Structure 1
Amino acid sequence: MPDRGWQPKLVALDIDGTLLKWVDGAGSTHEEVPAAVHDAVQRVLTAGSYVVLASGRAPHSMTAIADQLGLRDPHVPDGRLWIVASNGSVIVRYPPMEIVHEETFDAAPAVHAVLQRHPDALVAIEERGVGYRVSAPFPEGELGGESIVTRLEDLVSAPVSRVIIRDPQATAEDFVAMAAELGLHGTDYVVGWTAWMDLAPVGVSKASGLRYVAEQLGIGAEDVLAIGDGRNDIEMLTWAGRGVAMGQAVQEVRDAADDVTAQVDEDGAAIELDRWFV
């Protein structure tokens, strides 16, 4: 743990389950930032440190959260933010929305391998600025924006930055076991709280996205505080100088972190920020 005099130059924050509280039994979060979290983030900005949202969400569903938090770049007149979207595959400046870096890959082999094991699973690809193109409708509230039903072969016919595979009839443990057995060569993956899998280019994660942003800002990993709660936060928590897991995180995430804060329902992110920004 850094000594008490340390203060992060960059704070990386996951959104769902870190800033936003879960809706019981709905597989989604309340789209309202709690006051304690908002105020803690404002103290970070007042101190002159950067705040970067790092999420599995698509860019268009992250900007409203940035607006709620009152995020800005404290060092430039126009205040344009950096956002790490789609688990690190897409780097955005905002406002206005500008994609400054994107990693893509051929997802077809991995998608077909997963569907051989879970033939009824749903597949989604981001439709920039609109929502998602999907093989069939996802459970209500799980995807932001509009859903456009599209033939599977059309979904994976060209390189993409990220693929979501979801099987409402399976469990997260089913997907973890399946991914380990398949290997999924040429593709990185992360399994969520449910039977939800994100496929991404090899080597791409929230950590790689944050590394890109930090290099642009001249900040080293040792000066980064990262807070998250999901398996897609593990690389980020390991990379940052201080990685903190939310209290409700699974053991695999807690083990990757330097420390564990309170649960999201107890505003754990605000509690951690208040250790370094008063």
Structure 2
Amino acid sequence: MNYAQIRAFYSVVREGGVGPAAKFLNVSQPTVSQHLRALEETAAVPLFERRGRGLALTPEGARLFAAAEHLMRAVAAVEDSLATPGELERGRLRIVSDSPPVVVQLLKRFRDRHQAVTISTALASKAQIMAEIADGEADFGITVDPTVGVDYTAIPLRSDGLSLCVWRGHPLARKRRVELMDLAPEVLLLREPGSRTRNLLQQAMNQRDVTPREAIEIGSREVLREAVALEIGVTVFTASECPPDPRLAYVPIHEPGLMIVVHEHLVFRKRTLIRPEMAALIEIARDYSAEQAGQRMATASARSG
């Protein structure tokens, strides 16, 4: 019995199979299977039993897993203690997000401290993000108001309001803020179904019984901006999705009695081994969250004053 065998066993249980465990450990499936066979030979008892297409722990396997979990937590604690800021010399992270501005902020801060870590990012819907985390394809997700239950941890990152995007010559461009009723006479350009911004806007409009004159589904943020610039219609973005553009104006949406806000979170599985590079990103995310909270408090104080 050795550490590699125990880690393979632990990963198969946590990841839900030999294939996912091999991906998590960055080794081949035959290597994981070989470790499992060797461990069972040493234990002289079966650790798994077949149930349909999956594997289930035997009573002996369950006891071994409980002991292995204590061991893996101790190993993670040792790795965390050695992974002081600026000393990560290797590692990999995959982050899936529905918010390019937030993932870029975290990526910038992480790269400033840990350039040797390989990072891949991808844009995805909320459902895709949670699926990738559940399958072990991604280490972290960044999404709006995730339903995490007991299996996931969600760190709040920031809250973001909505802004109406119009062309510069539009009458609403001169206003300091707009209400939902201002959208009724407009041609409203929308993201694809499932978009966080579209869902939030439609929920709010339903609550106020507001229907636009016409709605057109466009798709990506870039195409939406071009469509607004060509005066096809108006659209809505979160405040962080409003880069400067001389052709466009962004007007905050303020609806009395409604909180039209998206809350971004960093999400990861509780039941996983936190590698040093993951611990480093979690620390950065918590620092970022604290900064954003401080900025919100300062803004609220300035407004009230």
More helix, by proportion = 2
Fold match (TM-score > 0.5): no
Which is greater in Rg? 2
Calculate the TM-score normalised by the size of structure 2.
Answer: 0.22
